[in-house]
Each structure stands twice: as C-alpha cells, then as structure tokens.
C-alpha cells in the first residue's frame, strides 16, 4: 500500500511516500540556525605560504548565515575588486541556513580578504586549480523541525524506512539508525515557490520554444506576490512590451526574455529560442536538467507503487558500481560502470548492492541513455510515452543538449532524531552524498506541505 504525497510534490513527480506512517508534522527554517549544513570536501590544499605561481588559488572555509552562495561570491569579488569568475565553490547552498563550505579565489592573498557581515572566513591554504562540483563528497546536516504535532511518530517512521529500504536486519551505528529513502530530486530542483523549471525543460525537449517561454514568463502561481502574478497574466496575452512594463525589476531573468522578445518581434519559433538563449548558460542547462529530474521522480514513484524493491535489482534493471574514490560512509555510483541485470545475475548483483558495492539506477534521460529492460524498462518507457518524450529529443542546440546519465534510486544514511529541549521541536542529524536532498529525508518524517520544508 502506498501513501499519496502532497499535491505540490506530485506536481514535480514525487507522487508517493515510501513510508505509510503518519508524519510528525512541523516546519523548517523558523530561523537560519535551524538548518545547518557542513560540506564534506574531497579537495587537497597546500600551505598558505606555497608559491603563488604554482598555487594561485587561495582556499577558504566560509561559514555563512543569511547568504546565498552566489550572492556571497558576488559580494566577495566586488569587495576585493576582481571578476566574479575568479571565485569558485563546490556546492550551492541556500540563503536561509547556516552553511560551511569551501571557496577558492584566484590571484589574491589572505590580506586582500574583506570583512563581510554574516561570513566567518578561515584561510585553509592554496591550490593549483579552482574548486568545482566534483570536489564535494557530501553534506552533513543538523536540522531543527519546529511546531511538530506528533513527535512520537518519528521512531515509527524510522522503522518503516528501514523496512522499506531493506535495512531491517542491519545493526545500528553508534546509537543511530540507518534509514533509506527514495533518491528523489527535491522541490528546490524545480523552484520551491513556483515549480516550473521542469515545464520549461519539457517544452524545450519537445521543440516547442514558445510554450517554454510562456511556462517561464507567464504561468502565475498562487504562492507569488500579487504584482508578480498580475505581470505574468499580462505576459500570457502575448503583449511582450506590456508585460515588460508590468514586470518587477527584481525578476531580471524574465525581463531578459521579454527584452529579447520585444527586440525580435517574436514572429518565428527561433525568436523564442533566442530569447531563452539570452539567459545565463547555467540556467539554460537547468531547464533541461529539471525535465530529466521530473522524469526520474515519476519513474521512482511508479516503482514504489508497484512494490518493486529499491535496495536490490530485479531482472531488467541497470545497476552502477560504486565510485572507488568516494568516502566509505558516503558511497555513490560511478555512472560509467554499469551492468544490465538478467535473470541469471540477479542474486549475484543483489549481494553487491547489499554490501554497498552497486546501486540500482533509473535514467536521467538523454541522447546517450540506455533504458532498462523488463518491468523497470516498462516503467521508464511508459513515463516517457506519457510525456511524449524520447531519448533522442534531448539532442538540442547549445546548452540545452544533454547526453543523460543514470542515478541511484535509493540513498541511505545513519540518522539521529532527538526531541528539542523545549519539547515542540525535533533535531535531525544525518549526512548525504553530493547531489542528494535533505528534504527527501525530512518529507518522509514530516509529511507536510513542501512549502513548510523550504
């Protein structure tokens, strides 16, 4: 038996929960200190006095409060007087949190660092290159959920997740229970307040550039401010100049698109494509990645509904073997080392999965993605057919193009859940590999409107 998720979650493909136990309720981020994240890095540095010719990048460990990673990088570069492109990091963190992460800054010395409110900076050393996403092994979380209504249900959720994830017979780890959850892409992937990035990406993959533009600049959402909703309603009429006049200046990406539409008179499909291509390259790619993530979430939801295990393969599954360079306590799959599982190999590969040496996967569909066989492949193809998509549709121009990959469908972590001293909150402590979302763990425990978890 499966339990339906909140309508906002179903809209981004997270259609069910893995556990059927009532949640504890509650909400996140009453204050920044309620959500603490510390990066687990995989990046080597030299002493700070290493020669700058060989090691031009100064490496910093920065604890931020009230800062989005991108905004802090911009503030830091502006204060130093350098290009923003000389500041790099491994993982983007949310503004409403206390976060600790590495930054690298090219071509500066420690005495060049400015004092920035809300930023505690430790100079770690020097490096020969900048930091990038692959240098992030994972994140450690300490999260306080306030206003819980059923705190006593936490242990029942833990037991349910252990059983669902094939961990019921596994021992505890230093007093913590290890749980498993579906490796969904969280609400943040699609836009917490207005989840539309996947709708834009789906339209792009189908070659409907005008629909992609309308999904982004029109398409009002009840969670937005009234003025923003009104501007989107004007955009829905196709009067681009009127929409540009109505749009708040703070929504600079929408305004960028509208400027381009006004400039080109938007009479041909290519004009709409050019308008989207006026956006930053990372945002262009994000649209397609969100579409892939939506397909992935839909596939996982259907697998849960059918009761197909996540912790071991069935015939037809594609598994990835573990990345040998990942930390032992934060294992991740190596998508370049895959194997298709047939009837003869199911039990052998299942033992590899049970030992953390292999992972059952689902596709982030793209031009180079091989779909599974058997019932898993049937699910993948049914989801794509329902969305009128095929892997070849991701053969797209420029930054929209994607070859795809495969991603583990389950993530596990030791978790500690303790009542807060005040009695109206729960403290969660756990760690996840890079690319996994803390909210995918918390949604199983809380079972609330995802807006309460953002």
- Answer whether 0.85 is exceeded by the pTM: yes
CB 40 within 8 A of CB 431: yes
Output the pLDDT for position 170.
58
Q: In the structure, how many helices (H) and strands (E) does the chain have?
A: 13, 16
Q: Is residue 381 within a helix (H) or strand (E), and if so which, with residue range? A: helix 374-386
Over the stretch 278-324, which tens digit does the pLDDT of each residue have?
999 989 999 999 999 999 999 999 999 999 999 999 999 999 999 88
In order of 18, 193, 377, 404, the CA distances from 291 in angstroms are 22, 17, 19, 11
How far is C-alpha 387 from the chain's CA centre?
21
In this structure, are strands 318-322 and 333-340 parallel, antiparallel, or unpaired? antiparallel
Delimit the domains of the chain by residue range. 3-33+138-183+411-453, 44-130, 197-279, 283-408
In order of 19, 391, 451, the CA distances from 292 in angstroms are 25, 10, 22
- Cα separation of 412 and 162, whole Å? 9
Give the contacts of 439 (CB within 8 A, at least 6 positions apart). Answer: 186, 187, 188, 450, 453, 454
Residue 169: both structure tokens together: 């017979």
- Cα separation of 79 and 410, whole Å? 43
The count of other CB atoms within 10 Å of the CB of residue 308 is 18
CATH class of 283-408: alpha beta
Output the pLDDT for position 175.
47
Q: Is residue 103 within a helix (H) or strand (E), and if so which, with residue range? A: strand 98-106
Catalytic residue among 32, 94, 317, 393: 94
Q: Could you confirm whether 94 is annotated as catalytic?
A: yes
**Same topology between domain 44-130 and domain 197-279:** no
- Cα separation of 246 and 221, whole Å? 16
Q: What are the backbone dihedrals phi and psi of residue 321, each rounded to the nearest 5 degrees, phi first?
A: -85, 160
Angle (CA) 54-56-60 rounded to 5° is 130
User: DSSP secondary structure string, 181-243?
Assistant: EE-PPPGGGT-SSS--HHHHHHHHHTT-HHHHHHHHHS---TTS-HHHHHHHHHHHTT-HHHH
Q: Return the CATH fold of 197-279.
A: Hypothetical Protein Yqey; Chain: A; domain1 (1.10.1510)
Q: Give pLDDT tens digits along the chain (454 positions).
A: 789 999 999 999 999 999 999 999 999 988 889 999 999 988 999 999 999 999 999 999 999 999 989 899 999 999 999 999 999 999 888 888 999 999 999 999 999 999 999 999 999 999 999 998 888 899 999 999 999 999 999 999 999 999 999 998 755 544 468 999 999 999 989 988 889 999 999 999 999 999 999 999 998 988 889 999 999 999 999 999 999 999 999 999 999 999 999 998 888 889 999 999 999 998 999 999 999 999 999 999 999 999 999 999 999 999 999 988 888 888 888 988 999 999 999 999 999 999 999 999 999 999 999 899 999 999 999 999 999 999 999 999 999 999 999 999 999 999 999 998 777 899 999 999 999 999 999 999 999 999 998 8
In order of 84, 136, 225, 313, 321, the CA distances from 336 in angstroms are 33, 19, 45, 18, 9
The answer to whether domain 44-130 has CATH 3.30.70.3160 is yes
Q: What are the backbone dihedrals phi and psi of residue 219, each rounded to the nearest 5 degrees, phi first?
A: 55, 60
Q: For residues 30-58, b (16+ Cβ closer than 10 Å) or e, as one string? A: eebebbbbbbbbbbebbeeeeeeeebbbb
Output the pLDDT for position 176.
65
């Amino acid at each position: 038996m499966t339990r339906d998720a909140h309508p906002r979650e179903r809209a981004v493909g997270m259609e069910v929960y893995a556990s059927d136990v009532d949640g504890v309720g509650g909400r996140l981020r009453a204050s920044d200190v309620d959500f603490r994240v510390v990066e687990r890095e995989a990046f080597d540095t030299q002493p700070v006095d290493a020669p700058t010719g060989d090691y031009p990048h100064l490496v910093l460990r920065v604890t931020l409060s009230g800062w989005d990673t991108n905004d802090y990088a911009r503030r830091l570069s502006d204060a130093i007087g350098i290009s923003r492109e000389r500041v790099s990091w491994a993982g983007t963190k949310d503004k409403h949190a206390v976060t600790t992460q590495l930054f690298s800054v090219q071509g500066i010395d420690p005495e060049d660092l400015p004092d920035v409110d809300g930023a505690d900076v430790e100079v770690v050393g020097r490096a020969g290159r900048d930091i990038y996403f692959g240098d992030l092994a994972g994140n450690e979380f300490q999260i306080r959920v306030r206003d819980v209504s059923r705190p006593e249900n936490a242990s029942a959720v833990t037991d349910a997740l252990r059983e669902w994830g094939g961990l019921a017979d596994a021992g505890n780890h230093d007093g913590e229970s290890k749980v498993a959850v579906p490796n969904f892409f969280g609400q943040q992937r699609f836009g917490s307040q207005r989840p539309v990035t996947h709708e834009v990406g789906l339209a792009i993959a189908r070659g409907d550039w005008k629909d992609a533009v309308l999904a982004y600049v029109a398409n009002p959402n009840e969670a937005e401010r009234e003025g923003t909703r009104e501007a989107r309603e004007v955009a829905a009429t196709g009067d681009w100049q009127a929409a540009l006049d109505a749009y708040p200046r703070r929504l600079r990406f929408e305004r960028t698109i509208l400027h381009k539409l006004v400039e080109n008179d938007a009479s041909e499909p290519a004009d709409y494509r050019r308008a989207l291509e006026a956006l930053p390259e990372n945002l262009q790619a994000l649209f397609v990645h969100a579409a892939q993530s939506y397909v992935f979430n839909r596939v996982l939801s259907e697998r849960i509904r059918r009761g197909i295990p996540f912790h071991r393969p069935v015939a037809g599954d594609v598994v990835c073997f573990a990345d040998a360079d990942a930390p032992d306590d934060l294992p991740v799959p190596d998508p370049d080392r895959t194997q298709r599982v047939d009837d003869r190999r199911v039990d052998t590969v299942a033992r590899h999965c049970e030992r953390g040496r292999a992972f059952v996967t689902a596709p982030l569909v793209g031009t180079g993605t091989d779909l599974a066989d058997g019932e898993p492949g049937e699910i993948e193809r049914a989801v794509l057919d329902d969305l009128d998509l095929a892997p070849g549709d991701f053969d797209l121009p420029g930054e929209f193009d994607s070859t795809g990959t495969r991603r583990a469908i389950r993530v596990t972590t030791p978790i500690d859940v303790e009542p807060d001293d005040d009695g109206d909150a729960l403290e969660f402590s756990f760690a996840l590999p890079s690319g996994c979302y803390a909210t995918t763990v918390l949604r199983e425990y809380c079972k609330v409107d995802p807006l309460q978890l953002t």
